Amino acid sequence: MASGSAMSKVSCGRDLDCVPEVTDTVAAVAKYGFDFLCMPIFHPRFKREAGLEPVKSRPGAKTRSDLLLSAREWNTLTVGKLSPWIDVDSELTTVRINSEEAMVQELNYCAYLSLPAFMIPLTTPHYANMARVLLSHIQTGHHLTTFWIRVPLMDPEDMLDDIVENAPTSSASSDEEKTWHWWNNFRTLCDYNKRVCLAVEIGSDVPSDVVIEKWLGEPIKAAILPTSIFLTNKKGFPVLSKAHQRVIIRMFKLDVQFIFTGTSQHSERDFRVYLQYLEYLNQSRPSPNAYDMFSKGYEDYLQSPLQPLMDNLEAQTYEVFEKDPVKYAQYQEAVYRCLLDRVPEDQKDTNVQVLMVLGAGRGPLVHASLKAAKQADRKLRVYAVEKNTSAVITLENIVFEEWGDQVTVVSCDMREWKAPEKADIIVSELLGSFGDNELSPECLDGAQHLLKEDGVSIPSAYTSFLAPLSSSKLYNEVRACRERDKHPECHFETPYVVRLHNFQQMAPAQPCFTFTHPNTDMDNNRYNCLRFSAVSSTVIHGFAGYFEATLYKDVMLSIRPETHSPGMFSWFPILFPLKQPLPVNRGQHVSVRFWRCNNGRKVWYEWAVTEPICCPIHNPAGRSYTIGL
């Protein structure tokens, strides 16, 4: 099946409960513009009493032949559906056993047809046996089918309560979360198997924004749109309410496929008008910003954090970072303001400021500093200090071709350099996704001897931030990173840089560790306990890390969602995973303790949840992950 992407055509399917002639129906739905057909693979009225005679021995085929469609058509144009009469969790033993055999039969036939997806409805909170049957099928087969668990956003019974006078109701929030609990328990029983995904059914009522946020953190592959939820505009065309539109538009970002179910409510119109309206909503979205364009293809992709102090970066890595226009514009502004503050107008021709770029790379900060000096009409003498001998070659070439005597290149570790003079300003870009995780504190503390007593460091301070998040997608990505020759829990005790995409952030990020420069206290070990409040029931899979940096006075850089520097893409957030998913109820508090440890040779983080339950400390003594000094 085609998968929609940003601003491309939306992938849509047609859901039918009964398909007498499969060949003609597939052709018909394609004619109306649908990309695939969603249908039962057994006739809904053909109940198999598999364990009972004489039905058990009845001759003849149990369903239609696979020869009606080509293998490619089954594999790309068809999504199967479990027969609605199957009840594997029935309290009646005969019904349960018969349903189990029928479900296994349908799952096996689905695998035989190589269907891309098979839809299983979840309509009650009782489904443990269904989960067992499905998981057994996944574990014992070699097929690649994805299983779409069809769950309504809201329980239909709760929506009926709204129109029944004096009907007993519980609180709105608990009603809204009811079907999410069905899904959460089902996927937990299936051990978060990555082939068990969601197909959410959007009803006439839409839950609150908090609950929608939670659903959007789940692995939604399809959204089912009943035609009954569409309204009619003045021209007689189908439209959706503003609330429904907001939900649909947010699902576009997750490349969700849409399935239309029900008969046309606009009989005088072709069914194409529903697809055209959905495509109109898709094309009406704002164009992706620079951050979205840069990160395309990296969504929820785990990357190991850089260790530029221990490893020399490659040219292509430098090139990626140098493409960020926002970061270097902010650095230029910071140097510009600093020069104006340090050099009065009447001294601009005689006062030459010494500026050292520590970790110069291929020179972008040198360029920004020289531009700032020209903008401020101030004189500058620049030292470009870089330990990467290959990058030094680039710097020396730029000195020869462009900078001249104004810049001196120093091939040395900043902590070991014996400078001929002290600096008025030191400029560095040693920040990682968590602020200090690329050892900026240790580097700048080690180079502080280069700075005059009244000297300025750019950046002057930075703070890391943490927020709990829910994402079964990321949990499965981390779980897949296990390596045989390492500690069995190593992959859950390692932070990852990741473009967060399919996730829910449980609460606003809180400040964790702060570092300032110049620094009077050279102890960079840190400890903090953060406490968050859950606004809805959820499952925590880890913590997202961000940072804010003060370059100079009010010139800032930030990747914290609330204050993110517009258009800046040099840093993705960092993820600190949890070994076990942590269920949290609405109103509960979550406490996490974070340590930053330094033993003189390496730096590492340790973290542990202590509320609502105590969890093991992750990465004790840096057994799984360290940052080399």
In angstroms, the CA 546 to CA 500 distance is: 11
With contact defined as beta carbons under 8 Å apart, do 326 and 568 qualify? yes
Helix axes 272-283, 242-252, angle to 10 degrees: 70
CA distances from 597 to 62, 514, 521 (A): 65, 14, 15
Question: For the chain, which residues score pLDDT lower than 50?
Answer: 1-6, 161-172
- For this structure, is 438 an active site residue? yes
For position 486, what pLDDT does the model report? 81
Which amino acid makes up residue 526? R
For position 167, what pLDDT does the model report? 44
Compute how many other C-beta atoms are within 10 angstroms of the C-beta atom of residue 565.
Answer: 21
CA distances from 79 to 48, 83, 146, 152, 203 (A): 21, 13, 10, 18, 21
In angstroms, the CA 101 to CA 406 distance is: 81
Q: Find the catalytic residue in 176, 177, 386, 438.
A: 438
With contact defined as beta carbons under 8 Å apart, do 506 and 467 qualify? yes
In angstroms, the CA 46 to CA 222 distance is: 27
Q: What is the DSSP letter of 286?
A: P
With contact defined as beta carbons under 8 Å apart, do 67 and 112 qualify? no
Strands 231-232 and 238-239: antiparallel
Please give the model's pTM, rounded to 2 decimal places: 0.90
In angstroms, the CA 569 to CA 499 distance is: 10
Comparing C-alpha atoms, which of 300, 215, 298 is closest to residue 480? 300
For position 175, what pLDDT does the model report? 76
| Burial of residue 510 (number of CB atoms within 10 Å: 0-12, 13-18, 19+) | middle
- For this structure, is 429 an active site residue? yes
Q: Find the catalytic residue in 177, 429, 442, 606.
A: 429
Comparing C-alpha atoms, which of 23, 27, 145 is closest to residue 79? 145
pLDDT digit string, tens, across residues 302-339: 998 888 777 888 999 899 889 998 999 999 999 999 99
Q: Which two tokens stand for residue 391?
A: 């990058």
CA dihedral for 341, 343, 348, 352, sign (positive or negative): negative
CA dihedral for 69, 73, 74, 79, sign (positive or negative): negative
With contact defined as beta carbons under 8 Å apart, do 4 and 255 qualify? yes
Q: Which two tokens stand for residue 450?
A: 């280069």
For position 574, what pLDDT does the model report? 97
Distance of CA 215 to the CA centre of its chain: 13
For position 51, what pLDDT does the model report? 55
